[in-house]
Each structure stands twice: as C-alpha cells, then as structure tokens.
C-alpha cells in the first residue's frame, strides 16, 4: 500500500516557484531521507503535504485527500521552533499539544501519561517539568520529537530533526526513530544533511524544486543525481557535512 502519492505538485511564492511538478510515490513503512541544496524546496514539500502552504497538483495520503485523514495519523517536527521562550510553559505541556491540538491550561491525567510515555521514548522523561526557556537546543529537539510521537502517528514528517544535537545525540535520535518505526510500521520522511543517515534510509529523495532522483540510496545518491542537484560533488558533500536550509 502507498502511504503517499503526489502528482504534479507545485508551490509558488510570488514569482518564485519553490516546487515544480513533483511526482512521488512512497510505500507504507518506508524511511525516506530528503536531500538537496539550500532553497531546493525540501521544507516546502513537507508543509505542502500537511496543507500548511497552498499548492497546485494532487496529494493523497493512503489514497485519500489530506483533509480526509485523521490529523492524529500525522506527526511533524518543524525546522524552526516558533514560540516565545519566555512563555511560562513546561516541556510536558508542549508535548501534550501534539495530542490535544490546543494548549493544555489544565492537563488531563490521561494526556499527561501519554506525554510522559512519549518523552520516555526519546530519553527525555527528566525534562517533563522543565520550563521551555531552560531547554538547550538539543533538549528542545527531543521534546518536539516526543510531541510528534505522542500521537502515535502513521506518518512522521521531520525537518532536520538533528539540528542542535551533538553527534552522540544524533545517533541516539536515529535509534529512537528506527525503534518507533520497527514497532509501529510508520512511514518516515526526514529532511537531512547527514550523508550517513541518507545512506541508512530505505529510500532517498534528491530534490531541487523537481525530483532529481528517488529510490534506494545506492541509486538515488549516484554521481549523476548529485551533480544535477548540487552542481558539483564537492558542494554536495560539504552540505551533507554541515549545511542547513531547505
């Protein structure tokens, strides 16, 4: 069964086309690493799949329009965390918003338990009662990942989830993702600049406003695809080592 089908997907911001005619089919249970240069439309693609930006073309999730899919089936970790760090809120409350879809001014006991389970899954249970303003970048990433997990989603959309995490933490994060996928059979789409992570995915999408390559890593990460996407291989390798932006 296909988790995701995209036909002729295009997104335009003013005179600029962020995506042009993207066609894509992702089988259920796949782990897709999305790679490409800065400005390639990677983040825009995830937002279009979630209906966060207007688009032309067709998107189907499990054969249905996105509006017909239960929102709890979808988990999303954005690249930019837009919130006021001075807001007097706790990590567990942020996690619970992924379940309740609103700010929990009073957290029900069942939601608290689910949020604690999600934090435990990412090794961050100790952060539950910590104010958001006191979290490091890496800790905040773990809390946002727990916020995505708390829904027990069938589709996880992750926009550079390892941002702000050191290498050991990054390996730990991928381990949590793999464990969740093995347990649930969820489909994962992850934007990354990590060459190693891309090679460990089941599929790689090489994107530069259009689909340059898609398939197993050994095929999608061919020299030809990387040259077409990045211009030349040296630049591509540099982005995987430490680049950012989508």
**Complete DSSP assignment for 176-220:** HHHHHHHHH--EEEEE---HHHHHHSSEEEEEESEEEEEESHHHH
Looking up tokens 């604690």 gives: 116
Domains identified in the chain, total number: 1
Residue 231, pLDDT score: 84
Residue 236, pLDDT score: 54
Report the C-alpha gap between 134 and 175 in whole angstroms.
Answer: 25
Report the relative pairing of strands 203-208 and 210-215 from DSSP bridges.
antiparallel
CATH number at residue 215: 3.40.50.300
Which residues of the chain register pLDDT less than 50?
235, 238-239, 241-245
Residue 195, pLDDT score: 80
142 assigned to some structural domain: no
Residue 242, pLDDT score: 42
The DSSP 8-state label assigned to residue 80 in this structure reads S
137-149 and 109-121 helices, crossing angle to 10°? 120
Rounded to 5 degrees, φ, ψ at 128 are: -50, -45
Residue 81, pLDDT score: 61
176 assigned to some structural domain: yes
Looking up tokens 């950012």 gives: 244
Domain region containing 187: 2-81+155-242
Q: Note the pTM of the prediction, 2 decimals.
A: 0.86
Tokens of 156: 């996880």
104 assigned to some structural domain: no
103 assigned to some structural domain: no
């Amino acid at each position: 069964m296909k988790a995701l089908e995209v036909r002729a997907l295009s997104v335009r911001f003013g005179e600029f086309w962020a995506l042009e005619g993207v066609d894509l089919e992702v089988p259920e249970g796949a782990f897709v690493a999305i790679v490409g240069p800065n400005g390639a439309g990677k983040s825009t693609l995830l937002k279009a799949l979630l209906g966060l930006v207007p688009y032309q073309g067709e998107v189907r999730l499990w054969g249905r329009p996105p509006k017909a899919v239960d929102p709890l089936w979808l988990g999303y970790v954005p690249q930019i965390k837009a919130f006021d760090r001075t807001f007097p809120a706790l990590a567990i409350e942020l996690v619970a918003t992924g379940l309740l879809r609103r700010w929990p001014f009073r957290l029900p006991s069942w939601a608290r338990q689910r949020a604690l389970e999600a934090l435990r899954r990412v090794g961050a249970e100790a952060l539950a009662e910590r104010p958001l303003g006191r979290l490091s970048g890496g800790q905040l990433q773990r809390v946002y990942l727990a916020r995505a997990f708390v829904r027990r989603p069938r589709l996880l959309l992750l926009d550079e989830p390892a941002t702000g995490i050191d290498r050991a933490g990054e390996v730990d994060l991928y381990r949590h993702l793999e464990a969740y996928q093995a347990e649930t059979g969820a489909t994962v789409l992850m934007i990354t600049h990590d060459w190693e992570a891309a090679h460990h995915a089941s599929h790689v999408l090489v994107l530069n406003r259009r689909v340059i390559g898609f398939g197993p890593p050994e095929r999608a990460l061919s020299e030809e695809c990387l040259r077409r996407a990045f211009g030349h291989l040296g630049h591509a390798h540099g982005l995987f080592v430490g680049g950012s932006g989508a």
